[in-house]
Amino acid sequence: MLTLDQTVRSYSGTPGCMCGCKGSYKDSERARKRAITQLLKDPAVRVQTWKPSGGDAGCLFVDTPTRTRALYLTEAGVAAVRAMGVEEA
């Protein structure tokens, strides 16, 4: 199970550039809890991983034609979502 302490920050915006010009990053507990709930309920959710840097080691994400939603995860978070059976991108 994915817990709040296994997350770093969330992102929500329109598709395209994720520098912050088309959406926003939020570090609050509320935003991360909401992202956990919304993303894990979506059957299209995927996990993407990379070499750990700056506290994150991957993210859960869903891309639709109108929205990009992502939740950045710690190494423990990546392991938790893999154990839950989330497919890798």
pLDDT in tens, the chain (89 residues): 999 999 999 999 999 999 999 999 999 999 999 999 999 999 999 999 999 988 999 999 999 999 999 999 999 999 999 999 999 99
Spatial separation of the C-alpha atoms in residues 2 and 81, rounded to whole Å: 6
Spatial separation of the C-alpha atoms in residues 59 and 62, rounded to whole Å: 10
Spatial separation of the C-alpha atoms in residues 50 and 43, rounded to whole Å: 22
The β-bridge relationship of strands 56-63 and 46-53 is antiparallel
pTM of the entire predicted model: 0.94
Q: How much is the CA Rg of the chain, to the nearest whole Å?
A: 12
Spatial separation of the C-alpha atoms in residues 41 and 16, rounded to whole Å: 23
Burial of 75 (0-12, 13-18, 19+ CB in 10 A): middle
Would you list the domain boundaries of the chain? Answer: 4-83
